[in-house]
A = this chain, B = another copy of it.
Amino acid sequence: MKGDRRRPEGLQMRMIMPGGFPMGPGKADLLQGIAETGSISAAGRRMKMSYRRAWSLVEDMNGFFREPLVETSRGGADGGGARLTEMGERALTLFRRIEEKAMRATGPEQAELTGLLRDASKDT
C-alpha cells in the first residue's frame, strides 16, 4: 500500500515523536487535504488512500496530540465534513516549516549526492 503513494523526488522528513509516533509526509499531506477539501474521505481519495486508512491516521493523530488535530461534524461514514482545529493548523504549519528549513539547509549536499547517481551522470 505504502509503495503505491508515489512521493515526489527530494528530501522527505519524518519525525519519530517521543512514544514512537511517526509524523511524516503522509500524515502532513492528509491534514493539508482535509484543510483544503473539508472532508477526510476526499483528502484520502486525493492520496489514493482508503477511507478506512485515512480515518485511522486521523484517529491516531487526534489521540497522540494534546488536543485533536481534526474535528468532524457527525453525518455517517462518508457524510459529515471535517476541518483542522487550531492545534491541527499549528502542527501542520510546524511540520511544513521543518520540511522547508531542512530543505534549504541541505541543498548543496543533496545536489552532490544526486550527482553520484548513475542516471545523473548521463545528464551532466
- For this chain, the copies found in one complex come to 2
A15 / chain B contacts, CB cutoff of 8 Å: 10-12, 110, 113-114
Residue in B12, B105, B121 whose beta carbon sits within 8 Å of that of A104 in the complex? B105
Identify the 4 closest CB pairs spanning chains A and B, nearest first.
Answer: A102-B102, A105-B105, A12-B14, A94-B113
Residue of B nearest to A90 (CB): B116
Flag whether A74 is at the interface (Cβ < 8 A): no
A121 to B19, CA, bound (A): 13
The distance in angstroms between the C-alpha atoms of A110 and B101, with both chains bound, is 11
Name A9's closest neighbour in chain B (CB-CB).
B16
Verify A63–B13 contact, CB threshold 8 A.
no
Distance from A91 Cβ to chain B, minimum over Cβ atoms (Å): 6
Verify if A18 is at the interface (C-beta below 8 Å from B).
yes
- Which B residues are in CB contact (< 8 Å) with A7? 16
Partner of A113, one of B23, B24, B101: B23
Question: Which of A104, A105, A109, A119: most chain B CB closer than 10 A?
Answer: A109
